[in-house]
Amino acid sequence: MFKSSIFQLTVELTIGFFALFAVTKLTRKSQINQITPFDFISAIVLGELLGNAIYDEKVKIWTIIYALIVWGTLMFIIEKITQKFRRTRKLLEGEPAIIVRNGKIDFNVIKKEKLDINELLSLLRQKDAFSIREIEFAILEQSGNISVLKKSKYETPTIEDLNLPLKGVYLPITLILDGEILRDHLYAIGFDEAWLLNQIHMIGIQNVEDIFYADWKQDEGIHIVSRNSS
């Protein structure tokens, strides 16, 4: 009896996992910041459906799979509707709200968005703005994050502002990850394992397994983090 229950639970969890994964891939929500209030509600419903299948013996997993398929299809349809019909986005996804305009807080928007001053200051601090005096515009996004445009005197100066010569921008290429050589990356930049091992030996590391992380950048060379780095 016990073994049968464990086996059934394992099957239900496995099927539920891949079913939820399929729904997530269908709606293509890859980051938590992309989740709108509608998606949040959907996630709660999907979790509840799976929970019922696991803990309620009267609810069969195939019933839940059908419910997941129907719910996932509805979510997919909603996504397509919001992509095709612009006017539906405000209702289903919400819209950005300008809470600071020309350096002044719009208290009507603050009240409408149910945001108090402490929450606003907290959001601003997450954008490295520690005073409202620094802000020219602040927009509350649908995800709940805030986008900030600082006043010019509080902006970080750029290379162009300082009249410094421009430098090339290069992407770091990961070569070793958790003790394993990423050979495709290594060959893509024109090097081989002999070169990589030589670089490792030059800094006193004998084995690749002793390296936690290593990357290479065209203008800076190789950077290695060993497992015993403090």
pLDDT of 40 > 50? The answer is yes
Q: What whole-number distance in Å separates Cα of residue 154 and Cα of residue 150?
A: 6
Residue 165 inside a domain? The answer is: no
pLDDT of 88 > 50? The answer is yes
Q: What is the reported pLDDT for 30?
A: 44
What average pLDDT score do residues 127-140 get? 87
Q: For residues 101 and 54, state if they share a domain.
A: no
Residue 163 inside a domain? The answer is: no
Residue 72 inside a domain? The answer is: yes
Number of separate domains in the chain = 3
Sign of dihedral through CA atoms 85, 88, 94, 96?
Answer: positive
What average pLDDT score do residues 59-88 get? 71
What average pLDDT score do residues 9-38 get? 59
Residue 166 inside a domain? The answer is: no
Q: For residues 55 and 15, state if they share a domain.
A: yes
Q: What is the reported pLDDT for 225?
A: 87
Q: For residues 10 and 48, state if they share a domain.
A: yes
Q: Among 90, 118, 140, which residue terminates a domain?
A: 90
Q: For residues 121 and 195, state if they share a domain.
A: no
Residue 199 inside a domain? The answer is: yes
Q: What is the reported pLDDT for 31?
A: 44
Q: For residues 62 and 80, state if they share a domain.
A: yes
Q: For residues 78 and 122, state if they share a domain.
A: no
Residue span of the structural domain in which 51 resides? 2-90
Q: What is the reported pLDDT for 186?
A: 93
Q: What is the reported pLDDT for 215?
A: 93
pLDDT of 132 > 80? The answer is yes
With contact defined as beta carbons under 8 Å apart, do 78 and 23 qualify?
no
Q: For residues 30 and 77, state if they share a domain.
A: yes
Residue 40 or residue 156, greater confidence? 156
The token pair at 68 is 């997941």
What average pLDDT score do residues 34-58 get? 63
pLDDT tens digits, residue range 181-193?
A: 999 999 999 999 9
Residue 130 or residue 44, greater confidence? 130
CA distances from 19 to 32, 49, 69 (A): 19, 11, 8
Residue 162 inside a domain? The answer is: no
Q: For residues 42 and 118, state if they share a domain.
A: no
Q: What is the reported pLDDT for 162?
A: 79
pLDDT of 54 > 70? The answer is no
Residue 137 inside a domain? The answer is: yes
CA distances from 107 to 16, 94, 135, 151, 213 (A): 45, 19, 15, 20, 49
The token pair at 13 is 């969890």
Q: For residues 78 and 18, state if they share a domain.
A: yes
Triad 70, 75, 79: Cα angle to 5°: 145
Q: Domain of 136: which CATH number?
A: 3.30.240.20
Q: For residues 101 and 144, state if they share a domain.
A: yes
Residue 56 inside a domain? The answer is: yes
Phi, psi angles (nearest 5°) of residue 150: -80, 160
pTM equals: 0.53
